[in-house]
Structure 1
Amino acid sequence: MERIFTYEALPETARLFWEKFSAATVFAFDGQMGAGKTTFIKALCAAKQVADVTSSPTFSIINEYHYASPAGHDQCIYHLDLYRLRNEQEALDAGVEDCLYSGGICFVEWPGIIANLLPPDTVLVQLEAMPDQKRLLRAGPAFRK
């Protein structure tokens, strides 16, 4: 998937993203600081009708959000921000692996430190700031070791 979008087009872009990746559970977000990773994750959560307040887990490392599946079952989304972690062991100590293999949706910002832990079907989501406040989204199969 490749798409250039504006802030106003975030809801539509999130809807299209979920149409394309409805079966995926782990998403690795890559992009420079300020590229819009957390903002796009908020839009993805809104598209799933997450009732919780979504915010960057920069200091908590892991945030957990809830939404109702189409059948009405409580579902979980894990939002991980690994920017402050120094190595894979710190990620393991924080419980990252439990989130990745929980079966719930898992959004991982700054995934490079845990590349060896990511499931093989991880979707790589790359965001890039462009002129005129637009963003370039590229999403597809993740990098592998």
Structure 2
Amino acid sequence: MKFTLGGIQTAAKEFWKQAEGKTIFAFHGEMGSGKTTFIHALCDEKKVQEMVGSPTFSIINEYVFSEDNKEKKICHIDLYRLSDADEAVRAGVEDCLYSGNICLVEWPERAPGLFPEDTVHIYIEVMDSQTRKLQIGRN
């Protein structure tokens, strides 16, 4: 799927339709490709109650949203500052991944082997300053 930054909310809505039933998403892409921006659009679509910036320093941000009259959580995880899977485990990432919550993970390649087999991998590529290509698959 290709999307422009101006049409990012439409892309996020379509993403959630395609992702029905999945909970763990690993976002791959170069620095500045739009991983955090797209994750924010995904959270906007879920109407999270309070969102903060990227969890680059906190590693994990949790956001609350309502769906089917139930309170649910999204874990936004940024592994950029971590060196390996052991460090990710110590930071609580593994607990999030197996919590049943939706997990949106940036820089998953920092902790290979930590992700469940059914993780959905999303690859974001910069086409030009306003356009991104998003490919969804499994690793």
1:30 maps to amino acid: H
Paired with 2:129 and 2:59, the residues of 1 have a C-alpha distance of 31
Paired with 1:37 and 1:27, the residues of 2 have a C-alpha distance of 11
Q: Helix, strand or coil for the counterpart of 1:117?
A: coil
4+ long deviations beyond 4 Å: none
Paired with 1:93 and 1:73, the residues of 2 have a C-alpha distance of 30
Are 1:77 and 2:74 matched, yes or no? Answer: yes
Q: Helix, strand or coil for the counterpart of 1:130?
A: strand
What does the per-residue CA deviation read over 1:74-105, in whole Å, with 9 as the maximum and x for residues that have no partner?
Answer: 10000110000112111010001000000000
Q: Which runs of 5+ in 2 are unaligned?
A: none
Paired with 1:120 and 1:87, the residues of 2 have a C-alpha distance of 18
1:111 to 108, 114, 117: 108
Report the RMSD for the aligned CA atoms in angstroms.
Answer: 0.9
Equivalence for 2:48:
50
Question: What is the Cα deviation at residue 132 of structure 1?
Answer: 4.4
Equivalence for 2:96:
99
Equivalence for 1:127:
124
What does the per-residue CA deviation read over 1:45-93, in whole Å, with 9 as the maximum and x for residues that have no partner?
Answer: 0011111124200000000000001x21110000110000112111010
What does the per-residue CA deviation read over 1:119-143, in whole Å, with 9 as the maximum and x for residues that have no partner?
Answer: 11100011011124200111122x1
Identity %: 50
Paired with 2:77 and 2:102, the residues of 1 have a C-alpha distance of 11
Answer yes or no: is the 8 Å Cα contact 1:99–1:106 preserved in 2. Answer: yes
TM-score w.r.t. length of structure 1: 0.93
Are 1:68 and 2:66 matched, yes or no? Answer: yes
Q: Which runs of 5+ in 1 are unaligned?
A: none
Paired with 1:31 and 1:73, the residues of 2 have a C-alpha distance of 33
What does the per-residue CA deviation read over 1:21-42, in whole Å, with 9 as the maximum and x for residues that have no partner?
Answer: 0211000000000000000000
1:27 maps to amino acid: F
Are 1:139 and 2:126 matched, yes or no? Answer: no
Kindly tell me the number of residue pairs found equivalent between the two proteins. Answer: 139
